[in-house]
Amino acid sequence: MGAQIGGAVTAQLTPWIALKFGWTASFLVAAGLCVIGAATWLIVDPQRKLAPTEENAAALNSGPSDWPTASKQAGVDPHPS
């Protein structure tokens, strides 16, 4: 989801920055944001296991196993429009 938001924001900001400060500045801002995004991935530990909370574990281990029924019980629309 972040890639879609980033693409939408970039498409809006790049021309505006280019008009105000020039094309070089717009590309430098985009490059800077990419470097910041890449640096944040350095803090992600790929060996770390994701542990569910007690509430999530109980929901995962009991009840129906099919997604549409489980999502309706959780209040999530399985087919959003």
CA–CA separation, 18 vs 24, rounded Å? 7
Q: Is residue 34 part of a domain?
A: yes
DSSP annotation of 32: H
pLDDT digits (tens, 9 = 90+) for 19-78: 999 999 999 998 998 898 889 889 888 888 777 777 777 766 666 566 666 666 666 666
Tokens of 18: 């280019």
Q: Is residue 57 part of a domain?
A: no
What is the span of the domain harbouring residue 12? 2-43
Q: Is residue 28 part of a domain?
A: yes
Q: What is the value of pTM for the model shown? A: 0.50
Q: Is the pLDDT of residue 13 over 80?
A: yes
* Total count of domains within the chain: 1
Q: Is residue 63 part of a domain?
A: no
Q: Is residue 74 part of a domain?
A: no
Give the helix/strand (H/E) hosting 42.
none
